[in-house]
Amino acid sequence: MKPVILSEKPSQAKAYADAFSTRRHVGYLEINPCPIFPEGAYITWGVGHLVELKEPHAYNPSWKRWSLGSLPILPDRYEFQVAKGKFKQFQVVKKLIRGTDTIINACDVDISL
């Protein structure tokens, strides 16, 4: 199985791919077999956050209009949804991840100092 390298954004994926011989596909790049990746690999990306928490009113319609007195809003179980406008890239990432046993997280670290 080819490993999947997940980057945070397309420009970051391109920077990684520049070190290899690649082929472009919709939503990902394919690294040709090489000494580092003998079977090749895939590089894909998010476009910001692909998945987000559902809004409070999706759990309970009464949470559409809330006040300080109703806080904290804690659903029994948190649910996620694909972010608006990002379904196509989410499907690409999902397909690649389901087809591998190795995922390399190459996203930004996000350290606050």
Q: For 20-34, how does the pLDDT look when each residue is reduced to its tens digit (9 = 90+)? A: 999 999 999 999 999
pLDDT, residue 19, reads 97
pLDDT of 82 > 60? The answer is: yes
Could you say which of 1.20.120.530, 3.40.50.140, 3.40.50.300, 3.40.50.720 is the CATH number of the domain covering 1-48+87-113?
A: 3.40.50.140
Q: How many other C-beta atoms are found inside a 10 Å radius of the C-beta of residue 34?
A: 13
What does the pLDDT look like over 15-68, one tens digit per residue? 999 999 999 999 999 999 999 999 999 999 998 889 999 999 999 998 898 889
- Indicate where the chain has its CATH 3.40.50.140 domain(s): 1-48+87-113
pLDDT, position 25: 98
Neighbours of 2 (CB within 10 A): 18
- Look up residue 84 and give its two tokens: 């608006």
Ordered alpha helix ranges (H), 1-102: 10-17, 56-59, 87-98
Compute the Cα dihedral for 104, 108, 110, 113 and give only its sign.
Answer: positive
pTM, two decimals, is 0.84
